[in-house]
């Protein structure tokens, strides 16, 4: 009899927990990547809410995900780059999720231009070289705002062909993607420059609906708590520690650029939230 009562009590407790669970929907299929792990960790600190992460399985371009969240169409949160336009549309949580890594760029160049970026290349000479970018990328506007020549293409794959055809001098790519892209185009006589880094501040934020203040505050609280207890750094290092150490050990010269499109509330003053790959 006691065992039956115990089992019944456990059943009722389970029902009560599920009844008070709050679902947070993120776009995409069920997965275990960096963004999902960071969000799951952040939500775990709001134990009273019993947040449960769910996935919106329809394939949508990012602009439509933003519209869905703005219109309360079923998606609650997205991780995306920080821009003033996005800040106007949704509520950003001002915590840079990958410590600005997307703003650290290494050039892809054609084999014949392997030594284009000599170690002593002056800033003035650097600014005369032409970068290749996709017309729609936000990075294109950043480069142009720094008075750098940019040759714009309409198709991502076409940019690699334009590089080998000398339509532009270099193709700056994030340190997180450049090796994969080189491997995918290894037959096109393209190489990774070995001398420089190009840097401009960027941030990847979580965004929620403008009216969803409770979720925004809970995610912000959880991110700050994970930073304090070290769990944020452990997850970050698991995913990105190797590439960070590799890049630092290469001791590249850094060309610093400005990013006038970064929201003014970006916490650039909090050094613990950013990675600095520059070698003094």
Task: Kindly tell me the burial class for residue 17, based on how many C-beta atoms sit within 10 Å of its own C-beta (0-12, 13-18, 19 or more).
Answer: exposed
The DSSP call for residue 170 is B
State residue 258's pLDDT score.
Answer: 96
Domains of the chain plus CATH, in order, are 11-100+203-248 (3.40.190.10), 101-199 (3.40.190.10)
Q: Distance (Å, rounded) from C-alpha 26 to C-alpha 86? A: 17
State residue 3's pLDDT score.
Answer: 53
- Segments in the chain below pLDDT 70: 1-20, 279-280
Q: Report the mean per-residue pLDDT for the chain.
A: 92
Task: Kindly tell me the burial class for residue 253, based on how many C-beta atoms sit within 10 Å of its own C-beta (0-12, 13-18, 19 or more).
Answer: middle
Q: Distance (Å, rounded) from C-alpha 227 to C-alpha 201? A: 20
State residue 119's pLDDT score.
Answer: 76
Long-range contacts of 182-190 (CB under 8 A, 24+ apart): 182/108, 185/160, 188/160, 188/161, 188/163, 188/164, 189/110, 189/111, 189/112, 189/164, 190/108, 190/109, 190/110, 190/111, 190/160, 190/163, 190/164
pLDDT in tens, 165-174: 999 999 999 9
Residue percentage of the chain with pLDDT more than 90: 84
pTM above 0.85, yes or no: yes
State residue 139's pLDDT score.
Answer: 94
Residue percentage of the chain with pLDDT more than 70: 92
Per DSSP, helices labelled H in the chain are 2-19, 34-43, 62-70, 84-89, 123-126, 138-145, 156-164, 178-184, 213-229, 231-249
pLDDT in tens, 238-270: 999 999 999 999 999 999 999 999 999 999 999
Tokens 């890594």 belong to: 101
Cross-sheet strand order for the sheet of 77-81: 51-56, 22-27, 77-81, 204-208, 91-93
φ/ψ of 80, rounded to 5, equals -155, 165
């Amino acid at each position: 009899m006691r065992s039956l009562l115990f089992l019944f009590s456990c059943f009722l407790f389970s029902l009560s927990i599920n009844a008070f669970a709050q679902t947070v929907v993120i776009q995409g299929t069920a997965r275990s990547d960096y963004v999902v792990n960071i969000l799951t960790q952040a939500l775990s600190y709001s134990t009273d809410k019993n947040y449960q992460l769910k996935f919106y399985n329809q394939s949508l371009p990012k602009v439509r995900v933003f519209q869905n969240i703005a219109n309360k169409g079923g998606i609650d949160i997205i991780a995306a780059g920080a821009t003033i336009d996005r800040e106007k549309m949704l509520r950003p949580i001002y915590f840079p999720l990958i410590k600005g890594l997307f703003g650290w760029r290494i050039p892809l160049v054609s084999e014949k231009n392997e030594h284009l970026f000599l170690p002593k290349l002056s800033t003035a000479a650097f600014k005369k070289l032409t970068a290749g970018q996709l017309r729609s990328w936000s990075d294109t506007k950043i480069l142009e705002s720094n008075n750098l020549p940019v040759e714009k293409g309409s198709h991502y794959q076409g940019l690699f062909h334009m590089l080998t055809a000398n339509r532009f001098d270099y193709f700056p790519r994030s340190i997180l993607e450049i090796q994969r892209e080189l491997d995918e185009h290894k037959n096109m006589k393209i190489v990774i420059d070995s001398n420089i880094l190009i840097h401009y501040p960027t941030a990847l934020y979580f965004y929620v609906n403008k009216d969803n203040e409770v979720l925004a505050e809970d995610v912000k609280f959880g991110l700050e708590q994970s930073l304090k207890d070290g769990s944020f750094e452990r997850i970050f290092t698991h995913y990105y520690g190797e590439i960070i150490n590799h890049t630092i050990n290469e001791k590249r010269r850094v060309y610093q650029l400005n990013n006038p499109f970064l929201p003014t509330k970006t916490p650039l003053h909090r050094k613990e939230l950013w990675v600095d790959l520059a070698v003094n």
